[in-house]
Structure 1
Amino acid sequence: MPHEAEIRGEDVTAEIETRIEQIAAVITQLDDSKVPKNIRRGAKDAVESWLLNKAKQLDVRIAITQAKLEELYEDPNIPMEFGTLILQINTALEQMLTDLHS
């Protein structure tokens, strides 16, 4: 019979996977003609290659996605409202890492 901690860990992981799907949907908002093509491409790559890539460890997926989005945020051509969106997403990703390791 699985230990309570194992069950709780599985529940947290399942919840985080659900939140990841929601965040991936939000990131697709960057696929907007007002956003420069390189930023759209970078956001799509962060989602497809890292955030939703279940072949990689969950914490690595989250951390690399954060780093990729941070690079996009630092692009001087990003429209302000999308920069704000990236900051909000990175805050949510940081919370997921905290939840995963608690």
Structure 2
Amino acid sequence: MAIRHVVMFQFVETATATQRQAVRDGLRALKARIPEIKAIQCNHDAGLQPTGNFDFCATVDFESINDYKVYQTHADHQQLIAEAIKPILKARAAVQFELE
């Protein structure tokens, strides 16, 4: 059963462009370091709505629930969260669902 993980971040107002870019670049780099990632797409909000949107979204696809669990606890993923995401994180929302 293929799984898609979708996560959205809202950043603190003081987050710099460099910090925001580090989140994007860091997530994209995980594909080369975590073989369980089948596909990843992520980027900053396009700014089409003046209010109410999150600042950033990532979708990460996996072949199985077990592959997702490997990613979830992988040291490189956890390091990215601790060093790049948490310092600028205001809010987070996520969902995982089965791909049809």
Larger radius of gyration: 1
Same fold (TM over 0.5): no
Q: Which has the higher helix share?
A: 1
Q: TM-score, normalised by structure 1?
A: 0.42
- More relative contact order, 1 or 2 (CA 8 Å, 6+ apart): 2
Q: Which has the higher strand share?
A: 2
Q: TM-score, normalised by structure 2?
A: 0.43
